[in-house]
Chains A and B, each alone.
Chain A
């Protein structure tokens, strides 16, 4: 792959993206427009995230990709391979070993540390879009901090479902200023948005980058009488027994038997390797 620059993108494009990242870090939660490039993969495959990863990556980095918690979906594998080939970086499935983690729909269970960068793939960056389709108007609402509409959305949730039913892409207020869509992570992950790591969000098709610097205050929106809850399915992982991790329901056999397992496959594997066993698990 010698006809590509390191990490595929040319240096000028990377500089442009880095400028957008720096601006995003300087104004946490603010959506910075950037000139998204064509990537050799379709939109919806995380082209926004891939461009961010390419722009921050150095030869010394260790790269991890998570797709809905898993390192081995087609999407995760192809992005990981892409950077193995174009940047020659080391790759890992272990959260702790990674220096750059690109993710779709999850924050790892293992707490992130200073020095790590978490890159989110974002389909729709605009949290106000649901109720206000006009881009001109939503930009104005952000600049004037007119966020009453976000609570109208939560009000609608409660009036229809008796509780705030929004389970993914749960809106947050970043450092008391910008309302931000944390991408479609489960709301269970929202408390982890307050993190020692650098968090970067990239929307390729919509050409937006935003960021949450380390230890930034991030508050999930709610009502006084319907406070935010970082809820998950009740129960413990059938494989590793963890009762504090986000669980996916999986179908086990043709008879339709189901079980709950950790969505974060690295977290589950690591626990099992340490001897934790769930009801359906076998000691390793």
Chain B
């Protein structure tokens, strides 16, 4: 391949990604690079195309055009949109992880917490019950869920706990890239703060590479190294998080930032 990026250590390269729902714009012409250990935040008001973009990147939605290049473990960039479905699904349970806004979309509600956390291990061939359980206990601890809840179903958990469980379930196999859609959305403010703290700890500790979609600027302020601001399916501004938030250039970003200041 003739990419210039071949020489750099880019992890994910999104190029000209567009998705239309009939005549309606989902997202258009989005391009950016993500480097290992970096967290990219995508902000914008409801309906601006954040989830569409994220789902196109993660292979849950088929974009109309564009490329989503991902560096395999050998360093070669592969267009994940051109992969066969088995390859893409394999990526989805090994190198990639996806944290849904609604925990119930990302959890098996009829399976115990331990089973939920252990599933990805089993999906990649773990066949030692003791080791799987040990891994689950370790990860429940890391997301501050008491060990004695390991055999409870997520239905018995609070919203915040469910979300932490979903995070543990995703991170246990050490994914190289994590997609998150409004991970703190729909939670009480105090619960959000705790989750955010936890996420920040994990991002630092594991050196996670992530793309996080949110309408909450506090989330990206805390987690994201860089930002893209979306409006009507377009990226209207991007840059380092502090720069964009402290010195917004685009009128829409200025509005977003000021509305946050008002609350």
- Which residues of A does B touch, CB under 8 Å? 131, 144, 146, 148-149, 151-152, 155-156, 158-160, 223-226
Contacts and interface: CB of A to CB of B under 8 A. Distances in A.
B119 A159 contact: no
A149 B119 contact: yes
A156 B115 contact: yes
A156 B112 CA distance: 7
A156 B89 contact: no
B108 interface: yes
A207 B115 CA distance: 31
Instruction: Give the interface size bracket for B toward A.
Output: 20 to 34
Interface of B: 85-86, 89, 93, 108, 110-112, 114-115, 118-120, 122-124, 126-130, 132-133, 150-151
Contacts of A155: 114-115, 118, 122, 129, 132-133
22 contacts: A144-B85, A144-B86, A146-B93, A148-B120, A148-B123, A148-B124, A149-B123, A151-B122, A152-B119, A155-B114, A155-B115, A155-B132, A156-B111, A156-B115, A159-B112, A159-B115, A160-B112, A160-B151, A224-B128, A225-B128, A225-B129, A225-B130
B237 to A, nearest CB: 39
A274 to B, nearest CB: 43
Contact of B151 (A149, A159, A224): A159
Given A151-B127, A152-B111, A159 B150 contact: yes
A148 B151 CA distance: 19
Dominant secondary structure of chain A at its interface with chain B: helix
B130 to A, nearest CB: 5
B112 A158 contact: no
Please indicate which of the listed interface residues A131, A144, A149, A156 has the most CB atoms of chain B within 10 Å of its own CB. Answer: A156
Contacts of A149: 119, 122-123
Given A223-B129, A224-B128, A224-B129, 13 more contacts: A131-B110, A146-B93, A148-B120, A148-B124, A149-B123, A151-B127, A152-B108, A155-B114, A155-B115, A155-B118, A159-B115, A159-B150, A160-B112
Nearest to B130: A225
A225 B131 CA distance: 9
B123 A146 contact: yes
B114 A159 contact: yes
A51 B180 CA distance: 50
Contacts of B151: 159-160
B130 A152 contact: no
Contact of B108 (A131, A151, A158, A226): A131
Nearest to A150: B122
B111 A146 contact: no
Most chain A beta carbons < 10 A, residue from B93, B111, B122, B123 = B122
A159 B122 contact: no
Contact of A144 (B89, B108, B118, B150): B89
Contacts of A144: 85-86, 89
Contacts of A224: 127-129
A225 B126 CA distance: 12
A239 to B, nearest CB: 39
A156 B113 CA distance: 10
A130 B130 CA distance: 23
A155 B126 CA distance: 11
A131 B85 CA distance: 22
Contacts of A225: 128-130
A143 to B, nearest CB: 8
A256 B36 CA distance: 70
A146 B122 CA distance: 10
A225 B119 CA distance: 17
A152 B115 contact: yes
A137 to B, nearest CB: 11
Contacts of B110: 131
Contacts of B132: 155
A225 B133 CA distance: 12
A221 to B, nearest CB: 9
A50 to B, nearest CB: 34
A152 B110 CA distance: 11
Contacts of A146: 89, 93, 123
